[in-house]
């Protein structure tokens, strides 16, 4: 049976930490221009049913560096867009490639894909989760501040797919995640139910940010939610990460955002372009963290 990576829960805490440390080593090797051909001859198919910059480039580059190859498939130019079932696609691709990354809307589509795939399937973002982002974010935290266990992370804004993966991370890695969001955009009740004492939900962004080691946010309008722009903007406005919010956090707080970011909406320009922001190295770590993941799964 192939190991899949559909949510962070598919890995144990020890495995996640192992991937983080391997990613840090791979990054050092990359900086020395040493390439490790640990996926020599391996092929990754990448299905993108939503747009991407970072996920596509990081997976494709990772496979090239590791000695393998990546194939980009979009609905426009594959039979998926003409209605070939995911089950059939999964079975066919399993006959040819060593792993499949998929970015899509409904999370159940990825689950169905994985159930029909005999090679590892990686969730490159669904409406519900973004686990690859969390590997890079955890790596960034470890590099800057050491192990995350027992630390305080504040999530401000939409209780979305990335937030759900932070909830999984908080439970697995045993840190405190304070989520400040409006009632309308809370994370799924089921998500919160399974997360033990690691999650605090609040309407007060200042309280969430108080003494936080890390403040994180994401766009107020995820892919597929374009029609809700106006109401989201209005309800989420009090949850912007700005200088006033960061002033509540620990003196050495860092700021993360998975990107793409919208300055003046979920984050002020002063914060994302300021000295506390680690967003560029966070984005760069997608490459290293996913190399560690690809080695592990393929």
Q: How does DSSP assign 197-242, residue by residue?
A: GGEEEES-HHHHHTT-SEEEE--SS-TT-GGGHHHHHHHHGGG-B-
Q: Is 127 a catalytic residue?
A: no
Site for ligand CP in 218-277 (CB under 6 A): 258-259
From the list 47-55, 81-89, 192-200, 234-242, the region that binds ligand CP by CB under 6 A is 47-55
Of residues 116 and 165, the one with the C-beta less far from ligand NVA: 165
- Residues with Cβ < 8 Å from 113, sequence gap 6 or more? 86, 87, 89, 90, 100, 102, 121
Number of residues that bind ligand CP (CB under 6 A): 8
Q: Which does 53 bind (CB under 5 to 8 A by kind): ligand CP, ligand NVA, none?
A: ligand CP
Helices assigned H by DSSP within 12-94: 13-31, 54-65, 86-94
Name the nearest CA neighbour of 46 among 9, 95, 115, 93. Answer: 93
Q: Which does 161 bind (CB under 5 to 8 A by kind): ligand CP, ligand NVA, none?
A: ligand NVA
- Residues with Cβ < 8 Å from 276, sequence gap 6 or more? 246, 253, 254, 255
Of residues 44 and 125, the one with the C-beta less far from ligand CP: 125
From the list 26-34, 46-54, 140-148, 266-274, the region that binds ligand CP by CB under 6 A is 46-54
Q: Is 171 a catalytic residue?
A: no
The C-alpha atoms of residue 66 and residue 56 are separated, in whole angstroms, by 16
Q: Is 258 a catalytic residue?
A: yes
Q: Applying CB under 6 A, does 151 fall inside the site for ligand CP?
A: no
What minimum distance in Å lies between the beta carbon of 140 and ligand CP?
A: 12
Q: Which does 218 bind (CB under 5 to 8 A by kind): ligand NVA, ligand CP, none?
A: ligand NVA
Q: Applying CB under 6 A, does 53 fall inside the site for ligand CP?
A: yes
Site string for ligand NVA, 50-89 (x = CB under 6 A): ----------------------------------------
Q: Is 54 a catalytic residue?
A: no
Of residues 178 and 257, the one with the C-beta less far from ligand CP: 257
Residue of 39, 107, 132, 133 marked active site:
133
The C-alpha atoms of residue 167 and residue 15 are separated, in whole angstroms, by 17
Q: Is 133 a catalytic residue?
A: yes
Eight-class DSSP state of 10 = G
Q: Is 103 a catalytic residue?
A: yes
- Residues with Cβ < 8 Å from 7, sequence gap 6 or more? 123, 129, 131, 165, 168
Single residue of 160, 217, 240, 277 touching ligand NVA by CB under 6 A: 160
The C-alpha atoms of residue 56 and residue 204 are separated, in whole angstroms, by 36
Angle at 91 between CA 87 and CA 94, to 5 degrees: 135
The C-alpha atoms of residue 50 and residue 109 are separated, in whole angstroms, by 13
Of residues 161 and 268, the one with the C-beta less far from ligand CP: 161
Q: Applying CB under 6 A, does 54 fall inside the site for ligand CP?
A: yes
Helices 161-173 and 13-31 cross at an angle (nearest 10°) of: 110
Task: Supply the residues annotated as catalytic.
Answer: 103, 130, 133, 218, 258, 286
Binding residues vs ligand NVA (CB under 6 A): 125, 160-162, 218-219, 222-223, 258
Binding residues vs ligand CP (CB under 6 A): 52-55, 125, 133, 258-259
């Amino acid at each position: 049976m192939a190991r899949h990576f559909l949510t962070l829960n598919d890995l144990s805490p020890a495995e996640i930490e192992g991937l983080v440390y391997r990613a840090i080593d791979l990054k050092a090797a990359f900086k020395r221009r040493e390439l490790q051909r640990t996926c020599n001859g391996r092929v990754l198919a990448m299905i993108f049913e939503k747009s991407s910059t970072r996920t596509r480039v990081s997976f494709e580059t990772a496979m090239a560096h590791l000695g393998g190859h990546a194939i980009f498939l979009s609905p426009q130019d594959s039979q998926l867009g003409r209605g070939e079932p995911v089950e059939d696609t999964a079975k066919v691709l399993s006959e040819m490639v060593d792993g499949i990354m998929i970015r899509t809307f409904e999370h159940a589509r990825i689950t169905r894909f994985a159930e029909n795939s005999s090679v590892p399937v990686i969730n490159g973002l669904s409406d519900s989760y973004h686990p690859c982002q969390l590997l890079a974010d955890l790596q960034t935290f470890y590099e800057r501040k050491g192990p995350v266990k027992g630390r305080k992370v504040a999530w401000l804004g939409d209780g979305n797919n990335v937030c759900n993966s932070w909830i999984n991370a908080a439970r697995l890695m045993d840190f405190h995640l304070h989520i400040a969001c409006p009632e309308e955009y809370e994370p799924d009740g089921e998500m919160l139910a399974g997360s033990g004492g690691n999650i605090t939900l609040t309407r007060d962004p200042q309280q969430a940010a108080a003494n936080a080691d890390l403040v994180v946010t994401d766009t107020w309008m995820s892919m597929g939610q374009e029609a809700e722009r106006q109401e989201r903007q209005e309800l989420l406005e009090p949850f912007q990460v700005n200088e006033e919010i960061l002033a509540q956090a620990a003196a050495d707080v860092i700021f993360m955002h998975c990107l793409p970011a919208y300055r003046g909406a979920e984050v002020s320009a002063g914060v994302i372009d300021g000295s506390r922001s680690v967003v560029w190295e966070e984005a760069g770590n997608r490459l290293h963290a996913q190399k560690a993941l690809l080695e592990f799964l393929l």
